[in-house]
Amino acid sequence: MGQIPVKVRVEYEHFLPVSKSRLVQALLHRLGGEAERNRFMEVSRRLELLYHLDYHETLQAMKRDYRFFDDRSFLGNCEGFAAEEIQAAETRFLESFLLVMEKANFRLLSQQELDVANEEDFLFRLPVQIDWGSLDAGLLVRFFEGRTYRGGKRVPEFAKRILIFHRGVGMEVFEGRLLLEKLDYLVGKLLKKVLHLVYPGSRERISASPRPEASYDAQCGLEETTVPDGGASRGVGSGQAGKASATIHGVRYLQRVCLRHTGVRLGNLFSRVRLQEPTFQELVLLFRPSKEKLPEPAKGGVRPIVIKTFRDIPMADLEVVFPDKKLSMQPVDLIKLSVTGLTGFFIVAFKIARAAVLSPVMAFIVLFSAMGYGAKVLFGYKSAKDRYESLVTHSLYDKSLDNGRGVLCYLVDALEEEEFKEAILALFFLWEAGPQTKEDLDVLCERFLHDEFGIQVDFEIDDALQKLMDSGLVSTAHRLVVAKSPKDILGILARHWEKRPQGTEI
């Protein structure tokens, strides 16, 4: 019998995992007349265009600041600029980056989430140690000094070296025999028992998941594995605590089934197993390499800021996205090499002793052969390690989306979509249902998303209404939120556009 699979508790996100075109089409189907639909489409088009222009300016500003730190072309971009100017650009860029991540509904990975990821192995079962020394600590330590994240929270300690943001939760399922993985699991389990007999008390040290560094925040003990939300408050340096919005959905659990949960034993080595693991649908990393990891010409100047993005990364395999990792051998490979090496050593030692009796020249020849055999064993170890590193590369090849400046374009586009979807959804239901309290409007939006698309989210009603109020499209009266008529909104959006220096007609 296998162990009981772990339930991973996952809080609902603000992220809306539906495209804006599908959302608009679904809202259109709720309208009756042709004139009403045309008016809604025009409002939608103008609102989308205004958000695009607003955040196009944000993107250009981020690109201007990032040119000093682009890891592909930064070496020649710093000439003629004072150190103070580059430092100011660095701070502006990080502030803009974190604001974009918040508004695009990405969440900073917490220490507790990292611990949840480290507790299990999924398909990638190689022992991995993250090389924290290859990541610079100065950049993020300097930036977060005197700052808090999302209304008073301190960032976890590992975020002094690397920021990891995630958005969306999925599920990866794998079915197969996994013969080698099962053998490795059984051998590893046997070794643990042997070591526990030889060194009592070693079981806990062996099985414990390594934590790179302690968290700033004391983590609470929970009965189930929990991935916290942490996404309801405002961003870095905003000074606003924010308020978590309620959701109509109950507590959400996702089940992880790893190899150890399937009851691996010699009797079922060749049977098929079904594994499943929650995934991070989108991951974004930001870090600065340490000086030792840079090419010689870059070591004395401004160092780059590396940004990467990945998709569909199993939580238990999170370590593969870290930039520098040290891979260890599987127990099966270690035992195979050890047995081969020791067997060869005793055979060669016996031959040398016998040859020495017969002739010193023969002893020399056998000794030379022994050295060749030892080199073969060492090369076998290196070959196995290279094979594992190739496995990491191939596992990430299809899951890497972009890096550097391309990530900035991707993130700002994601931001535009989220801002538009939140605004148009709240605006539509104020038209359809009339004036609403903030709480009732939140329920209407969440229920529609669930009934229409089958998705469960914590709709960010505060942010949606704040955008609409800032644009003058809605107002409040006696705790009720009231939307302007579609005709009035078209006029307001047209006036917003006329105030812009571009003067483009919409």
> Is residue 389 in a domain?
no
Residues 176 and 105 in one domain: yes
157 in a domain, yes or no?
yes
Are 31 and 73 in the same domain? no
Residue 224: which pLDDT band, with cuts at 50, 70 and 90? very low
With beta carbons less than 8 A apart as the criterion, state whether 128 and 325 touch.
Answer: yes
CA dist 164 and 106 (Å) reads: 10
Residues 302 and 336 in one domain: no
Torsion of CA 74, 76, 81, 82, to 10 degrees: 70
User: What is the band of 367 on the pLDDT scale with cuts at 50, 70, 90?
Assistant: low
**Does residue 400 lie within any of the structural domains?**
no
String of b and e for 180-218 (b: at least 16 CB within 10 Å)?
A: ebbbbbbbbeeeeeeeeeeeeeeeeeeeeeeebeebeee
Residues 274 and 341 in one domain: no
261's tokens? 């949960």
Indicate whether 209 and 297 sit together in one domain: yes
Predicted local confidence at residue 118, as pLDDT: 86
Taking CA atoms, 52 is separated from 103, 269, 487, in Å, by 14, 56, 22
Q: The tokens of 440 are what? A: 């009732």
**What is the tens place of the pLDDT at every residue in 145-160?**
877 776 567 788 999 9
Q: In the chain, what is the straight-line distance between the N-terminal and C-terminal CA atoms, in Å?
A: 66
Is 430 part of any domain? yes
Pair 362, 480 in one domain: no
What is the model's pTM?
0.80
Q: Quick one: which of 465, 481, 456 has its CA closest to 17? A: 456
Question: CA 479 from chain center: how many Å?
Answer: 38
- pLDDT of residue 218 exceeding 70, the answer is no
**What is the average pLDDT across 340-353?**
63
- Of 263, 315, 269, nearest to 121 by C-alpha is 315
Q: How far is 496 from 299, CA to CA, in rounded Å?
A: 48
Radius of gyration of the chain (CA): 29
The whole-number pLDDT of residue 344 equals 62
CA distance 116 to 118: 5
Both 324 and 336 in one domain: the answer is no
Percent of the chain with pLDDT over 70: 72
Q: Are 153 and 233 in contact (CB under 8 A)?
A: yes
Residue 351 confidence class, pLDDT cut points 50, 70, 90? low
- Number of compact structural domains in the chain: 3
pLDDT at 416 > cutoff 90: yes
Confidence of residue 206 (pLDDT cuts 50, 70, 90): very low
Return the minimum-mean-pLDDT range out of 29-33, 95-99, 223-227: 223-227
CATH code of the domain in which 467 resides: 1.10.10
Does the pLDDT of residue 398 top 70, yes or no? yes
Q: CB–CB of 51/427 below 8 Å?
A: no
Greater confidence (410 vs 384) lies with 410
Are 97 and 213 in a shared domain?
Answer: yes
pLDDT tier at 371, thresholds 50, 70, 90:
low
372 and 424 assigned to the same domain: no
Q: Using 50, 70 and 90 to split pLDDT, how confident is the model at 461?
A: very high
Q: Higher confidence at residue 28 or residue 327? A: 28
Please tell me the predicted confidence (pLDDT) of residue 377: 58
pLDDT of the residue at 243: 41
Give the range of the structural domain holding residue 222, as residue numbers without chain letter. 6-16+67-328
Q: How confident is the model at residue 358 (pLDDT cuts 50, 70, 90)?
A: low
**Per-residue pLDDT for 324 more than 60?**
yes
Residues 456-483 have a mean pLDDT of 94
Mean pLDDT for the chain overall:
80
Map tokens 């009981």 to a residue: 4
* pLDDT exceeds 70 at position 350: no
Task: For residues 326-351, give the mean pLDDT.
Answer: 64
Q: Is the pLDDT of residue 355 over 70?
A: no
Query: Does some domain include residue 146?
Result: yes
* Whether the predicted pLDDT of 499 surpasses 80: no
Q: Which of the four pLDDT bands, split at 50, 70 and 90, describes residue 228?
A: very low
Question: Greater confidence, 432 or 207?
Answer: 432
Domain-embedded: residue 259? yes
The reply to whether 268 and 127 lie within a common domain is: yes
Judge whether 104 and 167 are in contact, CB under 8 Å: yes
pLDDT, residue 349, reads 65
Q: Is the pLDDT of residue 233 over 50?
A: no
| 38 phi, psi to nearest 5 deg | -60, -40
Decide if 396 is inside a domain: no
Average of per-residue pLDDT across 100-111? 94
- Collapsing DSSP states into helix, strand and coil, what is residue 156? coil
Please check whether residues 253 and 313 belong to one and the same domain.
Answer: yes
Average pLDDT over residues 495-505: 66
Last residue of a domain, one of 328, 354, 375: 328
Backbone conformation region of residue 276, classed left if phi is above 0, alpha if psi is from -120 to 50, else beta: beta
Do 93 and 213 lie in one domain? The reply is yes
Q: Is residue 393 part of a domain?
A: no
